[in-house]
């Protein structure tokens, strides 16, 4: 059961509430505020919007960024009472406090169905005319993944710059990294940089005031999307082979908006959207989301607002679904113009085995590459036996050296970084670690480059090992590391951490849209930190293996670059549609995809339309296109008024007298919401979709329906006949349920699909039927 607030007067109420809060606030500390201004209200006396803002709204010295492309307005450092004064101006459409957001932290291109010299890679010349902008922690430009060997001239449409700074000169850009910028004003104003310097300084010992990457995350995501071929790539011997991005010849534009240990501020992210669209990028990859697990309405969400400005100008935006799975309604980046990407496993694993003193063997994963234990048995302890939570989690200073010295220690996952627990064990004299999942992580495992011999195990194995420890006087164990295994089945499996549906803002739009590889992904790394990112990790590595929806989103960004290169006339919605309607819902055993956390069959709330399959996306047959007017109609349909819509779209909207239905946005998936409060009986909902033929001119498609359990689905017409004159056809989908007898599954919904088939193409849309009450 879900509950959602109405939005008809919400924006006016929030603005009034925000204003009242500021006026009555006793706290007069300066903060950064972002103001959305009606650009049409500028008096002609001012030569630029900046002059207007500086004379009428805020002192010139307090203004951080001026936005004029994806958003109109400015950000400034003000006291709450100064902000309240600005809000009194009738030209101000909206205001919000600057917020900190967090990053959503080799074989994967083949696993997407990409093979060298055939299919998408060869037909698109590897995307060499397409520019991918990556919003992240910057780049380590010396990596082989960013070589410009044999690349042609920089595309003439490029208008960006190579911004120089600390340890970053114009020579760090080339025909691969064609531009680089950094955005720190929001950060500096917050005075909370990772180095702990108050008042906006940056500690040059941990960060570079430049596009150079001190964290590693940005280098990893950039090379996942666009990395060149790097032969003999591996991370300390794990995942050996050729490392390459999804679009190895695409050009890379770096926008550093996130800073080591400090997250990413909305005011800086908005400025990056403004710059990227002006610079001429074709694709934006953003592996960033709300830091609090709560999705703001679109008009208060700078990622949604910035992305609308980009998408409305033809730029595809790929965003991560967040890492708060497997909880329901944990998916983030929900705006329907964003492509929201969850994470799946690939068919490669890094197995390690725990052998107990009683001969029992348990399987887990590890990327430990130091001196092995060589089969030697060591005493095994579980500090959590004492009942002290911090000791069970192996938190800093929680372990008694007398208890753990010379032993393998069982640590529970959670509350602190997985690799940091190993350092705590090492400091207390332990020789190894078994990292045990709790119930919330289930059986979902992530490989880490641990500093001591470590094996991560699922919740069931963890419980069995703990039972062994408490059942014998002296428990012993050893860990064997088995390197890299490929051809793992089943794969893909939906990662347990991947953000799940339903969509908490508008359940009429299914999110995530699809999943892509996001577990144990090998890609380039910075030289500024070791593979764990811990200060105490002094190792250097050219490549690192990471997991997260952060890793999945750049796979889709690279795929979008290839599709844009092969189909220059396709807009963002068509590209997303091609990926979604061709996505795979089965694994490499030809069985329905499963959920890593439970082992059970996964659903569209977990994987959206399915797992990215690039070879098929190249030739989808039909696409569902969406125009800017369609998005405006959607915003009208969810109760946004003209001024609220203008916050997002930059132009006042005229909503029709008869409110449209949000379900009729021309989305490649269908969600039917029925009220649970209406008395039982047969209820129907009808949706309209419009298909555009991008295949052979004369094509005939017939419908194939898999009705959700307990629902009846009918489609009219049941055949679509395309010709030279008929390129788009609309059809109606009617979903009928008996609400009294509808039995929903554990996720609160039932699922089916609708496919259009012509003998070559299968254009598939998931169907979700659920009961939900809108407050």
- Averaged over 634-658, what is the pLDDT? 93
- Averaged over 519-538, what is the pLDDT? 89
Task: Please say if the pLDDT value at position 159 is more than 90.
Answer: yes
How much helix, strand and coil, in percent to the nearest 5, is found in the chain?
25, 30, 45
- Averaged over 602-616, what is the pLDDT? 96
Indicate the pLDDT class of residue 27, thresholds 50, 70 and 90: low
- Averaged over 475-485, what is the pLDDT? 95
Task: Specify the pLDDT at position 29.
Answer: 85
Task: Specify the pLDDT at position 511.
Answer: 97
Residue 386 is given by DSSP the state G
Question: What's the predicted TM-score (pTM) here?
Answer: 0.91
Residue 187 C-alpha from the chain's centroid: 22
Task: Please say if the pLDDT value at position 13 is more than 50.
Answer: no
Task: Please say if the pLDDT value at position 533 is more than 90.
Answer: no
- Averaged over 196-201, what is the pLDDT? 39
Domain boundaries, the chain: 31-97, 108-191+201-347+492-617, 351-482, 627-663, 665-772
Instruction: Indicate the burial class of 58 (C-beta count within 10 angstroms; 0-12, 13-18, 19 or more).
Output: buried
Task: Please say if the pLDDT value at position 196 is more than 50.
Answer: no
Task: Please say if the pLDDT value at position 661 is more than 80.
Answer: yes
Task: Specify the pLDDT at position 121.
Answer: 47
Task: Specify the pLDDT at position 775.
Answer: 56
Indicate the pLDDT class of residue 534, thresholds 50, 70 and 90: confident
pLDDT digits (tens, 9 = 90+) for 726-772: 999 999 999 999 888 889 998 899 999 999 999 999 999 999 999 98
Residue 592 is given by DSSP the state B
Task: Specify the pLDDT at position 359.
Answer: 95
Q: Tokens 């959602």, residue?
A: 4
- Averaged over 494-511, what is the pLDDT? 94
Name the helix (H) or strand (E) containing 381.
Answer: strand 378-381
Name the helix (H) or strand (E) containing 121.
Answer: helix 120-123
Task: Specify the pLDDT at position 441.
Answer: 78
Interacting residues of 517 by C-beta distance below 8 A, sequence separation 6+: 108, 111, 112, 343, 344, 345, 346, 492, 551, 552, 555
Query: Which listed CATH number (1.10.10.10, 3.40.50.360, 1.10.1040.10, 3.50.30.30) goes with 351-482?
Result: 3.50.30.30
Task: Specify the pLDDT at position 681.
Answer: 80
Task: Specify the pLDDT at position 197.
Answer: 36
Which residues are tagged catalytic? 136, 217, 550
- CA–CA separation, 676 and 773 (whole Å): 7
- Averaged over 516-544, what is the pLDDT? 90
Lowest-confidence pick of 105-119, 643-657, 691-705: 105-119
Architecture, CATH, for domain 108-191+201-347+492-617: 3-Layer(aba) Sandwich (3.40)
Task: Specify the pLDDT at position 307.
Answer: 97
Indicate the pLDDT class of residue 366, thresholds 50, 70 and 90: very high
- Averaged over 77-89, what is the pLDDT? 93
- Averaged over 705-720, what is the pLDDT? 97
- Averaged over 501-506, what is the pLDDT? 94
Structure tokens belonging to residue 370? 């130091």
Task: Please say if the pLDDT value at position 106 is more than 50.
Answer: no
- CA–CA separation, 434 and 468 (whole Å): 13
DSSP secondary structure string for all residues of 152-219: -PPPTT----B--BTTB-GGG--SSEEEEEE--HHHHHHT--TT--TTS---TTT--SSSB-SSSHHH
Structure tokens belonging to residue 197? 């310097």
Query: What is the β-pairing status of strands 100-103 and 263-265?
Result: antiparallel
Query: What is the β-pairing status of strands 485-486 and 514-517?
Result: unpaired
Average pLDDT, the chain: 90
- Averaged over 534-543, what is the pLDDT? 87
- CA–CA separation, 701 and 691 (whole Å): 11
- Report the percent of the chain where pLDDT is more than 70: 91
Indicate the pLDDT class of residue 443, thresholds 50, 70 and 90: confident
Task: Specify the pLDDT at position 676.
Answer: 79
Indicate the pLDDT class of residue 64, thresholds 50, 70 and 90: very high
Residue 443's region, left for phi above 0, alpha for psi from -120 to 50, else beta, is alpha
Indicate the pLDDT class of residue 423, thresholds 50, 70 and 90: very high
- CA–CA separation, 521 and 109 (whole Å): 10
Task: Specify the pLDDT at position 2.
Answer: 33
pLDDT digits (tens, 9 = 90+) for 34-61: 999 999 999 999 999 999 999 999 999 9
Task: Specify the pLDDT at position 145.
Answer: 95
Give which of 135, 139, 417 is closest to 288, Cα–Cα. 135
- Averaged over 468-479, what is the pLDDT? 96
- CA–CA separation, 631 and 313 (whole Å): 13
Residue 392 is given by DSSP the state H
Task: Specify the pLDDT at position 120.
Answer: 47
Query: Which listed CATH number (2.40.160.20, 2.60.40.2310, 1.10.3720.10, 3.90.650.10) goes with 665-772?
Result: 2.60.40.2310
Task: Specify the pLDDT at position 773.
Answer: 73
Q: What top-level class would CATH report for the domain 31-97?
A: alpha beta
């Amino acid at each position: 059961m879900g509950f959602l607030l109405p939005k008809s007067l919400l924006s006016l109420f929030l603005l009034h509430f925000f204003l009242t809060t500021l006026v009555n606030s006793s706290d007069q500390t300066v903060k950064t505020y972002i103001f959305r201004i009606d650009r049409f209200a500028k008096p002609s006396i001012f030569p630029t919007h900046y002059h207007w803002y500086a004379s009428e709204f805020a002192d010139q010295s307090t203004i951080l960024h001026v936005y004029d492309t994806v958003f109109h307005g400015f950000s400034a450092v003000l006291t709450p009472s100064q902000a309240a004064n600005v809000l009194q101006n009738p030209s101000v459409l909206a205001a919000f406090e600057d917020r900190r957001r967090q990053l959503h932290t080799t074989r994967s291109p083949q696993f997407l169905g990409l093979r060298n010299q055939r299919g998408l890679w060869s037909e698109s010349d590897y995307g060499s005319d397409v520019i991918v902008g990556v919003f992240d922690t910057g780049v380590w430009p010396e990596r082989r993944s960013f070589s410009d060997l044999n690349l042609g001239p920089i595309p003439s449409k490029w208008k960006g710059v190579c911004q120089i700074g600390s340890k970053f000169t114009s020579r760090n850009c080339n025909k691969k990294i064609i531009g680089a910028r950094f955005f720190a004003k929001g950060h500096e104003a917050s005075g909370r940089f990772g180095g702990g310097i108050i008042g906006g300084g940056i500690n040059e010992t941990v960060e570079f005031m430049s596009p150079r990457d001190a964290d590693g995350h940005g280098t990893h995501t950039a090379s996942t999307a666009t990395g060149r071929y790097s032969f003999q790539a591996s991370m300390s011997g794990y995942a050996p082979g050729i490392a390459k991005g999804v679009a190895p010849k695409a050009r890379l534009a770096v926008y550093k908006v996130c800073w080591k240990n400090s997250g990413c501020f909305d005011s800086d992210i908005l400025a990056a959207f403004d710059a990227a669209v002006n610079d001429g990028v074709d694709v934006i990859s953003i592996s960033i989301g709300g830091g609090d697990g709560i999705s703001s309405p679109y008009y208060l969400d700078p990622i949604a607002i910035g992305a609308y400005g980009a998408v409305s100008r033809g730029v595809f935006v790929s965003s991560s679904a967040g890492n708060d799975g497997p909880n329901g309604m944990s998916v983030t980046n929900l705006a329907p113009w964003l492509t929201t990407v969850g994470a799946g496993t690939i068919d490669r694993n890094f197995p390690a085995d725990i052998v107990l003193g009683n001969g029992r063997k348990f399987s887990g994963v590890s990327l430990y590459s130091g001196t092995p234990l060589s089969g030697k048995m060591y005493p095994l302890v579980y500090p959590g036996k004492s009942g002290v939570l911090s000791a069970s989690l192996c938190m800093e200073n929680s372990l008694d050296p007398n208890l753990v010295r010379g032993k393998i220690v069982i640590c529970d996952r959670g509350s602190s970084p997985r690799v940091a627990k190993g350092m705590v064990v090492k400091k207390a004299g332990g020789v190894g670690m078994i990292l045990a999942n709790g119930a919330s992580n289930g059986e979902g495992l992530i490989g880490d480059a641990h500093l001591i011999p470590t094996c991560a195990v699922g919740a069931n194995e963890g419980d069995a090992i703990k039972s062994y420890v408490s059942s014998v006087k002296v428990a012993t164990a050893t860990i064997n590391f088995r390197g890299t295994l490929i051809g793992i089945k089943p794969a893909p499996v939906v990662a347990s951490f991947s953000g799940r549906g339903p969509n908490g803002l508008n359940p009429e739009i299914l999110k995530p849209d699809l999943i892509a590889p996001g577990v144990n992904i090998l890609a380039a790394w910075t030289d500024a930190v070791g593979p764990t990112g811990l200060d105490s990790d002094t190792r250097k590595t050219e490549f690192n293996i990471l997991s997260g929806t952060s890793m999945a989103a750049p796979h889709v960004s690279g795929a979008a670059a290839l599709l844009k290169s092969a189909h220059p006339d396709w807009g963002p919605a068509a590209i997303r549609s091609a990926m979604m309607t061709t996505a795979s819902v089965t694994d490499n055993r030809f069985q329905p995809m499963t959920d890593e956390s439970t082992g059970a069959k996964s659903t569209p709330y977990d994987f959206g339309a399915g797992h990215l399959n690039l070879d098929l996306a190249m030739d989808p047959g039909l696409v569902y296109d969406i125009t800017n007017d369609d998005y405006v109609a959607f915003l009208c349909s969810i109760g946004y008024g003209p001024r609220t819509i203008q916050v997002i779209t930059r132009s006042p909207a005229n909503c029709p007298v008869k409110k449209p239905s949000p379900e009729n946005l021309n989305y490649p998936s269908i969600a039917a919401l029925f009220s649970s409060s209406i008395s039982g009986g047969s209820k129907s909902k009808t949706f309209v979709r419009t298909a555009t033929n991008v295949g052979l001119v004369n094509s005939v498609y017939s419908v194939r329906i898999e009705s959700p359990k307990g629902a009846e689905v009918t489609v009219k017409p049941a055949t679509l006949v395309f010709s030279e004159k008929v390129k788009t056809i609309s059809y109606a989908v009617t979903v009928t349920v008996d609400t009294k007898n509808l039995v929903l599954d554990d996720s609160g919904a039932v699922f089916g699909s609708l496919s259009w088939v012509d003998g070559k193409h299968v254009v598939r849309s998931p169907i979700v039927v659920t009961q939900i009450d809108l407050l």
